[in-house]
Amino acid sequence: MAETESRLRHLPVSFFAMVMGLAGFTLVLQRATRLWQLPNVIGLVALGITVLAFVVLALLYARKILRYGVDVVTEFRHPVKLAFFPTVSISLILLSTMFLEVNLNVASFLWFVGVPIQLALTLMVLNAWIHRTTFEVQHMSPAWFIPVVGNILVPIPGVVLAAYQVSWFFFAVGLLFWIVLLTIIFNRIIFHQPLTERLAPTLFILIAPPAVGFLAHTRLVGHLDTLAYVLYYSALFLGLVLVTQFRMFARLSFYLSWWAYSFPIAALTLATMQMYQYTGLIGFKWIAAILALALTALIGLLLTLTARAARRGEICVPD
């Protein structure tokens, strides 16, 4: 009992990054059923697993808030962990996106719950960045994209739910801070100490803003334009940059931060599928297939390693 309570007390909010990864994988499977005529049941099973993961984590973290509120406040004041709180609202928005083709009422409910929470957390994190004096350069990582750039996700289901102006608002906020934070993060990476082993996987988050931005922008305008091309090829190039560092990533020990690999790769896969649908060029279909296979293998690996770490008591422990 004491061990269980200790695990609950140290349950990290970053665990919701797993939901983001599973949601991204589910969206890829949903798109793949149309692109490669796969059985619809595959996407439905993945959706069910993702929903279950979110519900379990949400209930556990709600219990942590009730029993260990002080620890939650401490986590929110942590210069690194702070950035992961919006993974909760982003998970809701991703769940909304998954339900667009299953149940529009559920999708609408999840969107209208998740978006206000996303806005509130964005403002809270920005205020913390502006007013706290405890932040140092080594605290920064690509995970800092999560609170503000997560807003770019809002239009993907938002346009379908007829929230057009709201969707443009969130897209503009996310795009603005992607540019600002990209500059700061590259300054930190190039001119300061390397990221710690635990945070190194967050480098893959660099892919997510332009990839998701491409998906959101094409939803908003309905076609490919100059900005769409810039966003997609920026994401593709950043992916290539990270692939060339495979040996470095392969040497890293497993942490929950490994889930940072999953959603960005899923976003790039979805963007590539979208490029194929718009252009009809077979090269994009092949790239999408390679990415989808890599993502499938990665999700299987992450689930296996996470389960093994949980059995060994290596998760939900004091830092």
Q: CA–CA separation, 302 vs 44, rounded Å?
A: 20
User: Residues 257-301: pLDDT tens digits?
Assistant: 899 999 999 999 999 999 999 999 999 999 999 999 999 999 999
Q: CA–CA separation, 287 vs 237, rounded Å?
A: 13
- Is the pLDDT score of 2 beyond 70? no
* pTM to 2 decimal places: 0.94
Locate the domains of the chain by residue range.
Answer: 2-311
Render the burial of 226-261: b for 16+ CB within 10 Å, e for the rest.
eebeebbebbbebbeebeeeeeeeeeeebbbbbbbb
CATH fit for domain 2-311, picks 2.30.110.10, 1.50.10.150, 1.10.10.10, 3.40.109.10: 1.50.10.150
- CA distances to 59, 90, 97, 157, 315 from 110, rounded to whole Å, are 16, 10, 9, 10, 29
Closest CA to 265 of 242, 231, 249: 242
Residues 6+ apart with CB under 8 A from 159: 167, 219, 220
Is 189 within 8 Å of 206 (Cβ atoms)? no
pLDDT tier, 192 (very low <50, low <70, confident <90, very high otherwise): confident
Whole-number average pLDDT of the chain: 92
pLDDT tier, 225 (very low <50, low <70, confident <90, very high otherwise): very high
pLDDT tier, 3 (very low <50, low <70, confident <90, very high otherwise): low
